[in-house]
Amino acid sequence: MTIRSRAAVAGSKGSFTIDNIQVSPPKGDEVLVKIKAAALCHTDLDILNGNDFPHVMGHEGAGIIADIGPNVTDFKTGDPVVLNWAMHCGACLACADKRIHLCENYSVANGDGVSGHAHSEGTTYKGKPIRRSFYLGALSEYTIVRQSAVCKLHDKIPYSSASILSCGVMTGFGSAVNAAKVKPGSSVAVLGCGGVGINVVQGCRIAGATRIIAIDITQKRLDQAKEFGATHGILSDPKDTTLASARDSIFALTHRGADYAFECTSIPTMADAPLRFIRHGGMAVQVSGIEQPVNFDCSLFEWDKIYINPLYGQCNPKRDFAIMQDLYHTGELKLDEQITKTYRLDELQHGFADMLSGKLAKGVVLFD
Ligand SMILES: [Zn+2]
Ligand SMILES: [Zn+2]
């Protein structure tokens, strides 16, 4: 039976409405998820403002399996699950190479996936098929997704805390642990301590980094970074565009430059910053997904520096969502502390306004 679902529907550029969509029963390997919590992310607004097509918004969420398709093997109705956007086919070269976040068939790395389109014909709005952000469309009472887009939730993790694992936590934690493979005893610099940056910080702490230097232009964010594991905070002057002063402080603390540096600002002119912070042979990680053309001084790569731009913290959902839940239960991965405010779906505009004002580390929409 087709279900009516209240959802955030993006219309023309920059505008959205809360309206009813129609969701069909799951087919094949699809599952129907009743969303309990969906987290807000800057990417939601980037997609909203950068595109003109209607779509169901949201790509971070957790909920309960409400129905399963005939080919679903891993889930049953009633299972609590968290969404992920590393859905994958299991058969392509990337999947065979265990880089399933780059799946040649389903990854957002290919085509217009970040904008999202429905794999399923099962979601319609005003009688026409409608795309879903990141193939998920989490800002909706119900969503229909492939079974590889969900992972089981264990024990007593609140849905609100689980929902933030979906994207920001995975990206930050995975960039440190999976992509950079931060070694115990190492020194790291984390530039930008917003929603993703603090998860890089705690990923580095969990990986055993002993010197974690946070750099930001607001003291409040530096204080927050310390709660998540930063050992040092450097307050940067926004006028210091080359971050010369921060670089000097990092070199004073580490003597030769940091072993790893992470860029988490989304500011294009900051794309080369992590190269400035690291030692010879160190690793620079661009976490924020800068896509604009940037002029690079190639001498910044001297010598033997590595610069990587990982997608989604190189997410392997089954492995990583299990590990992150275990770390939550042992108290090492802080999730509850990241959620600064919750909203009802009809308060979404308010939630985005709070996010833009910098008031929030993370806002979450709760469903009944
Ligand atoms: Zn694949
Ligand atoms: Zn996100």
pLDDT tens for the chain, residues 1 to 368: 899 999 999 987 789 999 999 999 999 999 999 999 999 998 899 888 887 788 999 999 999 999 999 999 999 999 999 999 998 889 999 999 999 999 988 887 775 544 444 455 689 999 998 988 888 999 999 999 999 999 999 878 999 999 999 999 999 999 999 999 999 999 999 999 999 999 999 999 999 999 999 999 999 999 999 999 999 999 999 999 899 999 999 999 999 999 999 999 999 999 999 999 999 999 999 999 999 999 989 999 999 999 999 999 999 999 999 999 999 999 999 999 999 899 999 999 999 999 988 776 789 999 98
142 CA distance to ligand 1 centroid (A)?
26
| Residue 209 pLDDT | 98
Contact present, 72 and 152 (Cβ < 8 Å): no
198 Cα–ligand 2 center, Å: 14
CATH entry 3.30.300.30 includes domain 169-311 = no
CA of 72 to the centre of ligand 1 (A): 18
Q: Give the model's pLDDT for residue 118.
A: 43
Q: What is the pLDDT of residue 47?
A: 87
User: For residue 107, what pLDDT is reported?
Assistant: 83
Helix ranges, the chain (H): 42-50, 93-96, 159-164, 170-174, 197-207, 219-227, 244-254, 273-277, 317-329, 348-356
Q: What's the helix, strand, coil split of the chain in %, to 5?
A: 30, 25, 40
Distance 167 CA to ligand 2 centre (A): 5
Is the distance from CB of 364 to CB of 39 less than 8 angstroms?
Answer: yes
> What is the Å distance from ligand 1's center to 182 Cα?
27
The whole-number pLDDT of residue 154 equals 87
User: From the CA of 139, which ligand is nearest?
Assistant: 2
Cβ-proximal residues to 218 (8 Å cutoff; 6+ apart), any chain? 235, 358
> What is d(CA 172, CA 151) in angstroms, rounded to the nearest whole number?
19
pLDDT score recorded for residue 360: 66
Please say whether the beta carbons of 255 and 279 come within 8 A.
no
113 CA distance to ligand 1 centroid (A)?
14
Distance 148 CA to ligand 1 centre (A): 11
Domains 3-157+335-366 and 169-311 agree in fold: no
Number of the ligand closest to the Cα of 109 = 1
The whole-number pLDDT of residue 105 equals 86
Q: How many helices (H) and strands (E) does the chain have?
A: 10, 19
Query: Which ligand is nearest the CA of 96, by number?
Result: 1
Instruction: Tell me, in angstroms, the distance from the centre of ligand 2 to residue 284's CA.
Output: 22
Report the alpha-carbon distance of residue 347 to residue 360 in Å, rounded.
Answer: 15
Please name which ligand lies nearest the alpha carbon of 58. 2
pLDDT of residue 12: 79
Q: Distances from the Cα of 63 to the Cαs of 34, 114, 311, in angstroms?
A: 5, 22, 24
Ligand 1 centroid to Cα of residue 318, in Å, is: 15
Q: If one looks up domain 3-157+335-366 in CATH, what number appears?
A: 3.90.180.10
Segments making up each domain of the chain, as ranges: 3-157+335-366, 169-311
